[in-house]
Amino acid sequence: MKKEEQLTTKAYIKRYFQRICQSWSLVQGLTVTLRYFFQPSRIVTEQYPENKKTLKMHDRFRGRLEMIEDENGENKCTACSLCEKACLNGSINVLSTKNIAGKKVLGRYLYRLDTCTLCSLCVEACPFDAIRMNQDFELSRTTREAFEMILNKKEGRG
């Protein structure tokens, strides 16, 4: 009988300290809440879409593929097709044409966003730095056709 009482007391003490520990974790949680309440500048959670206009993705973020163009809409693509070969799932079609001098230049740079895995292998394969992954993170579209894009505004230079 005496042994049973001793066990009950032990269990009671154990439960007592367990409850204190549980309360302590609650206090810790509330401390974090209060800290961010009084110092909102330390909050790292993005308030999307309210901050849509000012939201900047990290530099290493990979959005969709785009062609790098200067202020006149000119690009550096030579239609060499190395990016097309590097793309494992056929998301790129480089259609070449010929300029007046008979030299091969870029005609249309076709890109399919719906099959692109944003792996960036095409960017790494391009020896002319003509393409890059941009910062666009809103990649949803309402039609299948909208996933098919022509990335160049102008035909390639000769």
Site residues, ligand SF4 (CB under 6 A): 65, 77-83, 86-87, 89, 91-92, 94, 116-122, 125-126, 128, 130-131
Q: For residues 145 and 152, which CB has a smaller minimum distance to ligand SF4 in the complex?
A: 152
| Of residues 46 and 132, the one with the C-beta less far from ligand SF4 | 132
Q: Which is nearer to ligand SF4, 29 or 90 (CB)?
A: 90
Min dist CB 71 to ligand SF4, Å, is: 19
Find the shortest distance in angstroms from Cβ 75 to ligand SF4: 8
Residue 23 CA: distances (Å) to CA of 10, 30, 37:
20, 11, 21
33-to-30, 40, 126 alpha-carbon distances in Å? 5, 10, 48
- List phi, psi (to 5°) of 11: -60, -40
- CA pair distance 107, 79, nearest whole angstrom: 8
- Least distance from ligand SF4 to the Cβ atom of residue 53, Å: 27
Distance in Å, CB of 149 to ligand SF4, minimum: 11
Q: Mapping DSSP to helix (H, G, I), strand (E, B) and coil, where does residue 36 land?
A: helix
